[in-house]
Amino acid sequence: MRILGIETSCDETSASVLEGSGDDVAMRSLIILSQDVHRIFGGVVPEIASRAHLTAIVPVVDRALADANIMRGELDAVAVTNAPGLVGALLVGVSYAKALAFALGVPVIGVHHMEGHLFATSLEARDAVPPFTALLVSGGHTLLLDVEAWGRYRMLGRTRDDAAGEAFDKVAKLLGLPYPGGPHIEHLAAEHEAGRFRFARPMLRRDQSPEDDDYYDVSFSGLKTAVLQAVKSADVDAERGHIARAFQDSLIDTLVAKTARAVEQFGRRRVVLGGGVAGNATLVERMRERMRELFGPDGVAVFAPGRRLATDNAAMIARAALFHLERGEASDLALNAFAAQPLPGLLSA
Ligand code: KG4
Ligand code: ZN
């Protein structure tokens, strides 16, 4: 099976060709064109994003096909992110994918962006397959899931307010760092010692139990306010790195602790990370350390995507689509784009 994936939900225009079946899938090509224009505005401007996708989509797809050494006519299906995301941006990919699939006479498959992130790591690590505990941390979402099998997901926790990546971006702005802020904060934090500032670990108390609805949920808006207070009372130019370190420590500790709770409750032996924030090496390192402390050296394996597959990319979309296609779940030409949509495959409890 040869499948073309397309991703245009936010500010990356991406296309990728995959070949394979089951969990034996090879990435033949991956093109990711990041829209740098948004840096000037300190965040993604939806109208500009759609227009940039429109300019880029044809050459990006052509390049992905050329890199894979594949002709359009050799494709068996076309996959595209159709939710969630910026509707105008999603529509560029969805319209293009439907037109191409129609012209080729092959199925089109709409993919939920977060289900794509769930599959991303498996493209690099063959063992990053279910069952596992998943932590998806991106600019728009923070989800903790128990993944029993592909297509069978238990939603354990989510953010009550800001997503993890959003918290990185907002704190970066408070500290006068460029957008997107995650990599800048990670870099600064690595160069500074902990201890000069300390922020509370949000929604993390010893007396919580699995029946509590905040046992797995996270919340980062209070942490952001704490950073704001620190910024107001300190000399930011002198303390920027220490504040970045304290913020990142608090956010990472919270994510690691909540993930460990899920591993414990469901007895999984693998943790799979996904989303842009999973590109944060400190998060991955601390996750590994904690799992080793709790479950021993061979107890729980932690898998994280490399940077290209952590951030938005079309390979993960094609990979999730392959799974659905093999189950006979293709979309049709009525496929539409949606700003929000529940993750497919959710089990009720
Ligand atoms: O998954 P993604 O590419 O796009 C969304 O689906 O939202 O995630 C983008 C987010 C941004 O908020 C960015 O600041 C964050 O991922 N990010 C990072 C790092 N690299 C990207 N956050 C922390 N540390 C990083 N190294
Ligand atoms: Zn994403």
Which residue bears the tokens 């919270």?
Answer: 254
In this structure, the answer to whether residues 282 and 314 fall within a common structural domain is: no
Which ligand is nearest to the Cα of residue 283, counting in written order?
1
pLDDT mean values, one per 10 residues, the chain (349 residues): 97 97 96 91 90 97 98 98 98 98 98 98 97 97 98 97 97 95 97 96 93 95 97 96 98 98 98 97 98 97 97 97 98 97 92
Residues 174 and 254 in one domain: yes
Q: Determine how β-strand 77-83 pairs with β-strand 2-7.
A: parallel
Closest CA to 44 of 168, 158, 169, 141: 169
Ligand 1 neighbour 182 (Cβ under 6 A): yes
Contacts of 264 (CB under 8 A, 6+ apart): 294
Q: How far, in Å, CA of 262 to CA of 157, rounded? A: 9
Note whether 106 and 17 are same-domain residues.
yes
Closest ligand 1 atom, residue 279 Cα: 26
- Peptide bond before 107: cis, by omega within 30 degrees of 0? no
- The Cα–Cα gap between 341 and 338 comes to 7
299 in the same domain as 150: yes
Q: Which residues pair with 26 in a beta bridge?
A: 19
Same domain, 318 and 300: no
Do 144 and 237 lie in a common domain? yes
The residue length of the chain stands at 349
Answer whether 305 contacts ligand 1 (Cβ < 6 A). Answer: no
Per-residue confidence (pLDDT) for residue 44, from 0 to 100? 87
Q: Are residues 164 and 313 in the same domain?
A: no
Domain harbouring 143, CATH code: 3.30.420.40
Q: What is the C-alpha separation between 32 and 313, in angstroms, rounded?
A: 6
Asked if the structure places residue 337 within a domain, the reply is no
Residues 6+ apart with CB under 8 A from 216: 144, 156, 157, 258, 261, 262
Ligand 1 contact, 311 CB (< 6 A): yes
Asked whether residue 99 falls in the same domain as residue 164, the answer is no
Residues 6 and 151 in one domain: no
User: Does 346 fall in a domain?
Assistant: no
Residue 111 shares a structural domain with residue 175: no
Ligand at shortest distance from the CA of 114: 2
Quick one: 235 and 138 in the same domain? Answer: yes
Residue 271 lies in a domain: yes
pLDDT of residue 40: 87
Q: Ligand 1 in contact with 181 (CB < 6 A)?
A: yes
Q: Is residue 17 part of a domain?
A: yes
252 and 202 Cβ atoms separated by less than 8 Å: no
Q: Assess contact for 111 and 6: CB atoms under 8 A.
A: no
DSSP-assigned letters across all residues of 336-348: ---S--PPTTB--
Q: Does the beta carbon of 280 lie inside 6 Å of ligand 1?
A: yes
Main-chain phi, psi angles of 235, to 5 degrees: -85, 100
97 and 160 assigned to the same domain: no
Our count of domains for the chain comes to 2
Domain residue limits at 148: 131-304
DSSP class of 127 = T
Residue 299 lies in a domain: yes
Query: What confidence score (pLDDT) does residue 39 get?
Result: 87
Q: Residue 251 carries which side chain, given as an amino acid letter?
A: L
